[in-house]
Structure 1
């Protein structure tokens, strides 16, 4: 299933179903028909967010089924990201399988360095010209301003300390920072292990405070695309 399809499903579940139904035992019963007891584990995971150990966090993600093949990004978001790359070095934080980096490399053949970062890189495809680093986003092992463009898609919504993560992304980005998050609402039972929810563009802009002079924040098919120029913060 691709991102475009799941965004259509999310529209029905998140925006058309009333909250009283979404949080009900009836919805839970229906959701169990699709994902079994995992839907309960996800609800408990969010409820216990402030108290989770690193081992519990990693265990859920190891057992969480992959919904999208290759990437969580829609084609429209991938195209926008590839067109927004500046400079000669790119770091994709939360790279997953490396699918986005592959698209970036194919559309920007002059890049000198492509780096993918994830806390587990076992799923990353071994491709020529792309290096992978296992690390947590809250403490990235790179120098300040080490990459011209830093990209982070579908990661911020998973992090308890997302402000520290944003601070780290800004620290290692020399020219441009690009972030993509889903535009979604929080309910008790969802199919994603998300901690943070951004139903509107201004909801996400609050998370990015302080906002630099040069930035973009737009809705791309139920995903929020945010891009800021780091030079404008100097």
Structure 2
């Protein structure tokens, strides 16, 4: 299923159905007809978020059905990301199958170094010129400013300690950070294992506060697209010069 299709479905489920129905036992019953008991496990997963073990977290994500073909990004978001990439090195944190990196490689062949990061990389496609690293977003194994552009799409909504995750993205980015999250409302029963919900662009701006002056935060077809330019590193202080005797 394409992202554009699921966004239209989400519009009906999140913005048209009233909350009294979305949180009801009747909606739960209908959702179970479509997804079975996994919809119940997702609700329990969110309710127990602060107490989950790493094993429980990883197990649910391994068993979670893949809804989209290749990437969770819409065509509009992919085009915007490829256009806004700067520099010669790019890191996609939460790369999944590597589909976004493949599209960036095709659109921006001048980018010399592409790296994909996910806590599970066994399913990532072999792409010429792309290296994969298994790691968690909260503790990325790279030095400060390791990449010109750092991308993170459809990940922040899954991370309990999202402020720490955003700090890590900023830490390893030398020139630009690009983040995409779904614009969605929270309900008891959802079809995704999300912890964090951002119904408006200003909701996400609170999550990334403080943002530098050079940033954009826009709604692209029910997805929030955020990009910021990292401040230039402060110039080293000039050594004090002694006075002539």
Q: TM above 0.5, one fold?
A: yes
Q: Secondary structure at the match of 1:219?
A: strand
Separation in 2 of the partners of 1:232 and 1:163? 22
Q: Which residue of 1 aligns with 2:91?
A: 91
Q: Which residue of 1 aligns with 2:74?
A: 74
Separation in 1 of the partners of 2:134 and 2:223? 26
- Kept in 2, the 8 Å contact 1:212–1:233? The answer is no
How much has 1:58 moved relative to structure 2?
Answer: 0.4
Q: Secondary structure at the match of 1:139?
A: coil
Q: CA RMSD in A?
A: 0.9
Separation in 2 of the partners of 1:233 and 1:46? 39
- Kept in 2, the 8 Å contact 1:212–1:232? The answer is no
How much has 1:231 moved relative to structure 2?
Answer: 2.6
Separation in 2 of the partners of 1:125 and 1:225? 25
Which aligned runs of 4 or more in structure 1 are off by greater than 6 angstroms?
Answer: none
Separation in 1 of the partners of 2:146 and 2:229? 15
- Kept in 2, the 8 Å contact 1:39–1:189? The answer is yes
- Kept in 1, the 8 Å contact 2:89–2:149? The answer is yes
Q: Which residue of 1 aligns with 2:180?
A: 180
TM-score relative to the length of structure 2: 0.94
Separation in 1 of the partners of 2:198 and 2:69? 24
- Kept in 2, the 8 Å contact 1:152–1:179? The answer is yes
TM-score relative to the length of structure 1: 0.99
> C-alpha offsets along residues 178-214 of structure 1, whole Å, 9 cap, x if unaligned?
0000000000000000000000000000000011010
Separation in 2 of the partners of 1:118 and 1:70? 15
Q: Which residue of 2 aligns with 1:210?
A: 210
Separation in 2 of the partners of 1:161 and 1:233? 26
Q: Which residue of 1 aligns with 2:243?
A: none
> C-alpha offsets along residues 137-189 of structure 1, whole Å, 9 cap, x if unaligned?
00000010000000000000000000000000000000000000000000000
Gaps of 5+ in 2: 235-245
Asked which structure has the greater CA Rg, the reply is 2
How much has 1:111 moved relative to structure 2?
Answer: 1.1
